[in-house]
Amino acid sequence: MKITINGTLTEVAATTLNDVLEETGYGGAKVATAVNEAFVPATLRATHPITEGDRIEIVAPRQGG
């Protein structure tokens, strides 16, 4: 299915947010996630469904000041 990840149209086989993270290489990373502008906590990613056209934001923390 086609979804948008961080502004880039992407084709994935995933059906849950957790699967999207695994498929795109973020599986073990500490990241914040949102689907269609709604925050999805890490505890709900495995059950959060992804559908055609969803917009996903994946944000990694940064150090610095």
Maximum Cα–Cα distance across the chain: 39
Instruction: With CA atoms as reference, report the closest residue to 32 among 13, 6, 11.
Output: 6
Interstrand relation of 55-59 and 32-35 (parallel, antiparallel or unpaired) = antiparallel
Give the pTM. Answer: 0.91
Evaluate the CA torsion angle 30, 38, 54, 52 in order and state its sign: positive
Query: Mean pLDDT over residues 29-55, rounded?
Result: 97
Residue 7 belongs to a domain: yes
Kindly report the CATH number assigned to the domain that includes residue 54.
Answer: 3.10.20.30
Residue 64 belongs to a domain: no
Residue 49 belongs to a domain: yes
Residue 44 belongs to a domain: yes
The boundaries of the domain holding residue 11 are 2-59
Residue 65 belongs to a domain: no
Structural domains in the chain (count): 1
Tens of pLDDT, residues 6-37: 999 999 999 999 999 999 999 889 999 999 99
